[in-house]
Amino acid sequence: MSTQFGDKYRRWARVTKATMRVTHKPGDTMQVDWAGGTIPYYDPITGEEYKDYLFVAALPCSSYLYVEACTDMKQENWLMCHVHAYEYFGGVTRVLVPDNLKTGVTANTRYETQLNESYRELAEYYGTAIVPARVRKPQDKGLVERSVGFSTTWITAALRERKFFSFADVRDAVAERLEIINTKPFQKRPGSRRDAYLSEEKEFLLPLPKRPYEPSVWKQQTVGNDYLISDGLNKYSVPFDLIGEQVQIRLTKDLVEVYFKGSRMTSHKRFEKYSVQPVVKPEHMPSNHREYLNYNADEFKEWATSVGKSTEEVVKYFLTAGSVPEQGYKACVSLTKLGKRYGKKKLEAACERMLAFSSSPSIRTITTLLKNSKEPDKPTEKTDDSNKYGITRGAAYWRKVGGSK
């Protein structure tokens, strides 16, 4: 039995279901997202399975699509796919509508939108405006949602029966299917997606820049005591006075840039392959660290000869005990400090006593022998701060580097 309330509710429900058909302006919007399905390929030797993901871009006016296979959905691929989409379309739209992925949008509330710095940089380069779809408002991206489903059906489903053995094979197969989709005749209107794009939309796109955008990734890091930052593979130096500070790192394919409070502090050429040694610029080092770079085995030997035969034997041991002479440099430097403090005569005597009961001399034992002798003699050599063997590094530095040999 119908009630007055029930009648009113049904009328209200019918009215609130009203929908508005959105008319898309040509060249105005590009909508982007990741498709839900994946396409696997298998290592031909081990048989291990890898998954490839599909990036989808759509021009709503013509329904023209761009689809690309990627090895992951990380930021670098996300940005590169945008570059490739613009190149495929032959122009740029006024507005770019992404989903609320962290690779593009940091936060999207009813009050403000915070864009990922790398994504904002890309949009600025191409002269487009990013307007993310409203959270929980799928109608904002109706076409790309349908395009994602369409591409999933026409690409992933069509390739499901094929077995691939490399990412390149998957990429090429996806590109082939994309051409089929864009040239396939519409069911309810004349022509195809490509026909509609060429006749209705292409001329309204903004021109491409002269050179494609080189995607960059931004990271934040706190500089450690070794004044190094990492790009995820290799380490690079920054000015040592940034130790303990949080810096912003901009990474491109070929460049590492470091910013602090908005100012560019330094840059390095980026290495693609792993390097055991960090990339260090001498000007980034404290003065005492720079001095360390000037040390070499021949100069240590020359200095030891000026002290005496026993000291010469000790230095020879330090330089040959490790796999490379550089491993003995710290012990040699410590020995020169003892020579400056106690004088060459007492140092030579301590080295002679050391060698009398051990064939493996150590700085610790030589220091003990010198301390247990009489008060230090006044050094016979002139003590000059500019002496290349003068040790200006403090105790904190040596504690950081490690104990003496």
On whether both 78 and 198 belong to a single domain, the answer is yes
Q: How far apart are CA 211 and CA 10, in angstroms?
A: 58
On whether both 273 and 331 belong to a single domain, the answer is no
Choose the final residue of a domain: 240, 262, 284.
Answer: 284
Burial 81-104 (b: 16+ CB within 10 A, else e): bbbebbebbebbbbebbbbebebb
Per the listing, tokens 């009050």 go with 111
The answer to the question of residue 14 being in a domain is no
Long-range CB contact pairs, 143-147, < 8 A, 24+: 143/24, 143/31, 143/58, 143/60, 143/63, 144/31, 144/32, 144/33, 144/56, 144/57, 144/58, 144/60, 144/97, 145/33, 147/31, 147/56, 147/58, 147/63, 147/65
The answer to the question of residue 39 being in a domain is yes
On whether both 76 and 180 belong to a single domain, the answer is yes
On whether both 45 and 163 belong to a single domain, the answer is yes
Total domain count, the chain: 3
- Alpha helices per DSSP H over 152-246: 157-159, 167-183, 193-196
- Distance (Å) of CA 164 to CA 50, 138, 148, 235: 10, 34, 22, 36
On whether both 250 and 297 belong to a single domain, the answer is no
Q: How far apart are CA 289 and CA 71, in angstroms?
A: 42
On whether both 167 and 40 belong to a single domain, the answer is yes
What is the domain extent for residue 260? 217-284
Choose the final residue of a domain: 238, 266, 284.
Answer: 284
Per-residue confidence (pLDDT) for residue 396, from 0 to 100: 43
Q: How far apart are CA 21 and CA 147, in angstroms?
A: 17
The answer to the question of residue 315 being in a domain is yes
The answer to the question of residue 320 being in a domain is yes
On whether both 98 and 195 belong to a single domain, the answer is yes
Do residues 55 and 67 make contact, with C-beta atoms less than 8 angstroms apart? yes
Two tokens at 109?
């509330």
Q: How far apart are CA 315 and CA 112, in angstroms?
A: 67
Please state the pTM of the whole predicted model. 0.60
Q: How far apart are CA 171 and CA 200, in angstroms?
A: 29
On whether both 272 and 316 belong to a single domain, the answer is no
Per-residue confidence (pLDDT) for residue 144, from 0 to 100: 54
Per the listing, tokens 């509609």 go with 196
On whether both 194 and 65 belong to a single domain, the answer is yes
Q: How far apart are CA 116 and CA 112, in angstroms?
A: 13
Enter the DSSP assignment of 341: H
On whether both 225 and 302 belong to a single domain, the answer is no
Q: How far apart are CA 227 and CA 229, in angstroms?
A: 7
On whether both 236 and 328 belong to a single domain, the answer is no
On whether both 316 and 250 belong to a single domain, the answer is no
Which residues of the chain have a pLDDT value below 70? 1-2, 4-23, 100-114, 133-152, 374-405
Helix/strand/coil percent split, the chain, to 5 = 45, 20, 35
The answer to the question of residue 306 being in a domain is yes
The answer to the question of residue 6 being in a domain is no
Choose the final residue of a domain: 265, 284, 303.
Answer: 284
Per-residue confidence (pLDDT) for residue 403, from 0 to 100: 42
Domain of residue 163, CATH code: 3.30.420.10
Rounded (5°) CA angle 111-27-198: 155
The answer to the question of residue 5 being in a domain is no
* 29-42: strand order across its sheet: 64-70, 49-59, 29-42, 95-98, 129-130
The answer to the question of residue 305 being in a domain is yes
Using one digit for the tens of pLDDT, what is the confidence trace for 345-370? 999 999 999 999 999 999 999 999 99
Phi, psi dihedrals of residue 210, rounded to the nearest 5°: -60, -35
Enter the DSSP assignment of 267: E
Contacts of 312 by beta carbon, 8 Å cutoff, 6+ apart:
301, 304, 305
Using one digit for the tens of pLDDT, what is the confidence trace for 46-71? 999 999 999 999 998 898 999 999 99
| Torsion angle of C-alpha atoms 383, 384, 386, 391, degrees rounded to 10 | 30
